Chains A and B, each alone.
Chain A
Amino acid sequence: MAQHPQVATAPAGTPTNLSQGSKTKGGIGESTLRPDGTLKVTGEFAYSSDMWHEDMLWGHTLRSTVAHAEIKSIDIGEAVAMPGVYAVLTYDDLPTEVKNYGLEIQDTPVLAHGKVRHHGEPVALVAADHPETARRAAAKIKIEYAELPLITDEASATAPGAILVHEGRDDHHIGHVPHPNIVHRQPIVRGNADEAAARADVVVKGEYTFGMQDQAFLGPESGLAVPSEDGGVELYVATQWLHSDLRQIAPVLGLPEEKVRMTLSGVGGAFGGREDLSMQIHACLLALRTGKPVKIVYNRFESFFGHVHRHPAKLHYEHGATKDGKLTHLKCRIVLDGGAYASASPAVVGNASSLSVGPYVVDDVDIEAIALYTNNPPCGAMRGFGAVQACFAYEAQMDKLAAKLGMDPVEFRQLNAMEQGTIMPTGQPVDSPAPVAELLRRVKAMPLPPEQQWLAAGEEADVRALPGGLSNTTHGEGVVRGIGYAVGIKNVGFSEGFDDYSTARVRMEVVGGEPVATVHTAMAEVGQGGVTVHAQIARTELGVTQVTIHPADTQVGSAGSTSASRQTYVTGGAVKHTCEKVREKVLELGRRKFGSYHPAWATAELLLEGGKVVTDGGEVLADLVDVLEGDAVDLELEWRHRPTEAFDLVTGQGHGHVQYSFAAHRAVVEVDTELGLVKVIELACAQDVGKALNPLSVVGQIQGGTTQGLGVAVMEEIIVDPKTAKVLNPSFTDYLIPTILDTPTIPVDVLELADDHAPYGLRGIGEAPTLSSTPAVLAAIRNATGLELNRTPVRPEHLTGT
């Protein structure tokens, strides 16, 4: 008997301000199916690596083989002479004085000049008529390097006389950082942690290490640049934010932004790894130089060098608690390795510090987070963005404290859980539901999977259900079970005073005898399901069934980034807002055409439902077809969430965040203590989503985020050789991501407590589940083995002491 797809459970609290005109089929709250689903299952959906153009060339990037060196010379002679090669470009060929780019700090060279700062940095570009020709030509470029000393950690970065990764910094952080090899520093001081520590009956300290995780999206960095007749370029590319790319690309090319026309092509996952530019400028440079369309597709090896990773971190934590289990204070120091270029490091620092306390009430804190410049691979945005590293540490601390006090770890967390009204360490009150204790209660209440699942009555052990699986390493002897819990807090949207707006264009007209709405935004659909939800919002607000989603491009205003769990909130909010204004215009049109026929046009609240104009009493006044016949309503509007403010650079105080989201996990693991192999049996999640606009997609996002957290708990890590700063495992053979055999059942309990400040009461959902799944798995492994385990990922040698 098949189990039909699981959807979200019924809400616990029923918000009062959520539903509106849901009589139109396919509106919000329904599990509407993806509009791109059919194309994706037939293989017709055009991802960025599928783009093709008549007479197209292939671009290839030559990357540095060393991590830190002066470039003494580059000889492109042999490469240029190869048959089939159309162009070879180096730093000297850049067309303008703008030779760097960056999200916040423009410190990243388009092509290395003078020196390279990390292994895999782009040095030269080739365009040729076959990808293999381009690769072979690049291999013939001769570069002479003079290697420099390496900066690889905090000690080497801040040592007396340390070489500066970036000399002559002039960015706005340089004035307040203690050393030029520190990108940004954010302290948070509230209350008096030293005085509070004196009240503590128990104090626990811990040092935690979080490895470098990769986004490992499956669709490689790729795109197609086509030179246009006006001297500009059209770029079809997979990205998370078209307008941010455009702002960085145009100056390097020496073109006004209107001459760089960008269209989103199919995106095969992102998870933060497409916030920074990869091949965008390179493809445009080659296309403009050769006058031909140029496609660049990274292979997996290059992809590991082509995007920034999750910051590895060292976290030093000290907590105290009274003997009745109340937290007294937190002192912590978080050191994030940002690698060679700044990318999103400043914002990651802000998140790591402001969320370092977790979803708990602690009045007295002394917090510091920094990000380093080193010669390691650049790190930036990845799902969870600074909050993930902190959650790993504070959740380990909660378990240590509970153990020291002899308390149940879940009850200890509940005793200290924040709630609506709690003041964050930044001084900001939490002004929407914060059901931390309830989420923990829910995951704890879920039924546990049966013990020793590998044994079915009267049969031999099914090794597939055991740690080691088909490798047949055990039949159950030496296998022990453990259970662990964790909960986390993540901010939603861009924080610290960022003008975090989005834009939507909505058009309503009659097409083929039916009212049709067209929604045009620049939102990057990266798999999260925004395109599905935008159609649902338009149906709900405009009462039409037919909604066309216009392809995302730069012909409409910016939608901001598909990151920070913000797109449904912000671009969804922009679609809702614009639809509301379109609705007003449609009603004005109706009043002009039909107002004299019925007094309700002037007196009643009017809605659009089921293709008709109806009164709030349900009386139908007109068909939308008749109202719109011969006319079209078309509006493009921006929409913003509530403003935020920067954190004070000394005290860390400030209303920096818009909204928080919360998730809790319970992990059940089985560990083969002899071989050090872990099998995660179940990873249950409870999350508050405010309002599930599409329950099917919500659960999918939570399960996906949970699995990425599982990955970093037990297998995922980019390994950088500390002696050479070279990446040792840039492939899917050596960088492991969870397979379907590594991933357990993930039951999901969805709570819907409306945030009154957000559209429909919704809450950003994509990132929170990535926070707590890692510490929950670690807690379960500790529970099974009794080991301390202060590092993630956990490897067999950590479990066997070998």
Chain B
Amino acid sequence: MRVNFTVNGRQQEADDVWEGESLLYVLRERMGLPGSKNACEQGECGSCTVRLDGVPVCSCLVAAGQVEGREVVTVEGLADYAKQRAEHGGCATGTCGTSLDAAKSWEARPLDGQAGEQGELSPIQQAFIDAGAVQCGFCTPGLLVAADELLERNAEPSDADIREALSGNLCRCTGYEKILDAVRLAAARQEEAV
């Protein structure tokens, strides 16, 4: 079947999609967007978390056909999504997403863990790097999408709020302490910026 949907602000069309294929498979193997990770593929680990019409979901549990006509934001579009949100105060208009030019700017940066001068990273992405919340990094994309959504609806989350919001995302490397640090850091920076 053919599936039409929006990914990170760009209209996409996937052909010859088998009915059983997940959104995760279509993103990773057909769209060339491997940022959403395939750790358990049964909705237990949260590594494949994306926003579907704004709602965080495990993309491994969403059948590709279910996204027809809908909007998906993955970790690859997170920086632009956050930027648009900061500029427009929300993303309900469907203007959030990544332009082709912006997509081309996603290149390896030379300095350790530093974003380029344009600051392409979203606050939560930079906070994860700064707080040491990235080790092997396999859980990171899903955690970033979930944490960004938390901060969107709760600018000053308590530790209990953070733990509750991220309880669907497994991390095997960090012991979570630095992930908590990162979310607190992003929230504090957000507060300073306002």
Contacts and interface: CB of A to CB of B under 8 A. Distances in A.
Interface of A: 1-6, 26, 31-47, 49-50, 52, 130, 132, 215-220, 266-271, 297, 299-300, 462, 464-465, 470, 526-529, 532, 535, 546, 696-697, 699-700, 702-708, 731-733, 737, 739-741, 743, 745-746
A235 to B, nearest CB: 19
Contacts of B160: 462, 464-465
Interface in B25-40: 28-29, 32-40
B99 to A, nearest CB: 16
A49 B35 CA distance: 11
A704 B109 contact: no
A470 B163 CA distance: 11
Task: Give the top 6 A-B pairs by smallest Cβ distance, nearest first.
Answer: A43-B35, A527-B136, A33-B113, A2-B188, A703-B175, A268-B138
B63 interface: no
Given A4-B185, A44-B106, A37 B134 contact: yes
Contacts, number: 223
A732 B140 contact: no
Given A3-B184, A737-B172, A132 B39 contact: no
Interface of B: 18, 20, 28-29, 32-42, 44-45, 47, 74-76, 78-79, 106, 108-110, 112-115, 120-121, 125-126, 128-132, 134-141, 144, 160, 162-164, 166-182, 184-185, 187-189, 191
B167 A34 contact: no
A40 B140 contact: yes
Contacts of B136: 217-219, 267-270, 526-527
A718 B42 CA distance: 18
Contacts of B28: 50
A125 to B, nearest CB: 20
B34 A43 contact: yes
A33 B177 contact: no
A50 B79 CA distance: 21
A464 B163 contact: yes
Contacts of B174: 700, 703-704, 707
Contact of B40 (A300, A697, A699, A740): A300
Contacts of A1: 188
Contact of B112 (A33, A300, A705, A731): A33
Given A2-B188, A38-B129, A704 B173 contact: yes
Residues of A contacting B: mostly: loop
A130 B134 contact: no
Residue from the set A1, A5, A526, A708 with the largest chain B CB neighbour count within 10 Å: A5
Contact of A271 (B20, B37, B125, B172): B172
Nearest to A701: B135
A26 B112 contact: yes
A267 B18 CA distance: 29
Given A1-B188, A4-B181, A526-B136, A219 B125 contact: no
A38 B114 contact: yes
Given A38-B108, A47-B37, A219-B37, A737 B170 contact: yes
A384 to B, nearest CB: 15
A700 B178 contact: yes
B44 A269 contact: no
Nearest to A702: B175
B138 A42 contact: no
Given A218-B45, A269-B172, A532-B112, A43 B76 contact: yes
Given A38-B129, A527-B173, A46 B184 contact: no
Contacts of B35: 42-44
B113 A268 contact: no
Nearest to A546: B110
Given A218-B45, A703-B175, A464 B106 contact: no
Residue from the set A268, A470, A740, A741 with the largest chain B CB neighbour count within 10 Å: A740
Nearest to A710: B175
Contacts of A731: 40, 42, 44
Given A3-B181, A130-B18, A132-B20, A41 B163 contact: no
Given A300-B39, A733-B44, A218 B177 contact: no
Contacts of B125: 41-42
Contacts of A26: 112
A268 B39 contact: yes
A267 B173 CA distance: 12
Contact of A43 (B75, B134, B168, B169): B75
Nearest to B79: A42
Contacts of B182: 5
A746 B137 CA distance: 20
A465 B163 CA distance: 10
A219 B138 contact: yes
Given A2-B184, A33-B130, A732-B45, A740 B121 contact: no
Given A37-B112, A44-B106, A464-B164, 13 more contacts: A5-B131, A33-B129, A35-B113, A36-B137, A38-B121, A44-B108, A45-B137, A49-B37, A218-B39, A218-B47, A218-B138, A546-B110, A740-B176
Nearest to A695: B132
A37 B109 CA distance: 10
B44 A732 contact: yes
Contacts of A4: 181, 185, 188
Nearest to A42: B106
Contacts of B135: 269, 527-529, 700, 704
A268 B181 CA distance: 21
A218 B164 contact: no
A700 B34 contact: no
A300 B40 CA distance: 5
A526 B47 CA distance: 17
B171 A218 contact: yes
A719 B80 CA distance: 45
A739 B170 contact: yes
Given A41-B128, A743-B176, A218 B139 contact: yes
A47 B113 contact: no
Contacts of B115: 38
Contact of A740 (B141, B173, B179, B188): B179
B153 to A, nearest CB: 18
A293 to B, nearest CB: 14
B178 A703 contact: yes
B175 to A, nearest CB: 3
B138 A41 contact: no
A1 B184 CA distance: 8
Contacts of B126: 41
B62 to A, nearest CB: 17
Contact of B164 (A46, A470, A532, A703): A470
B41 A299 contact: yes
19 contacts: A3-B181, A4-B185, A6-B177, A38-B108, A41-B75, A42-B125, A43-B76, A43-B141, A46-B34, A218-B172, A220-B39, A268-B137, A527-B137, A697-B132, A700-B135, A700-B173, A703-B178, A704-B135, A704-B173
Contacts of A35: 112-113
A297 B114 contact: no
A577 B147 CA distance: 42
Residue from the set B110, B136, B179 with the largest chain A CB neighbour count within 10 Å: B136
Nearest to B185: A2
B135 to A, nearest CB: 4
Contacts of A132: 18, 20
Contacts of B144: 41
Contacts of B179: 740
Contact of A699 (B110, B129, B132): B132
Nearest to B189: A2
A34 B173 contact: no
Contacts of A43: 33-36, 74-76, 141
A794 B144 CA distance: 33
A32 B129 CA distance: 10
A118 to B, nearest CB: 23
Nearest to B140: A40
B188 A218 contact: no
A300 B41 contact: yes
B20 A41 contact: no
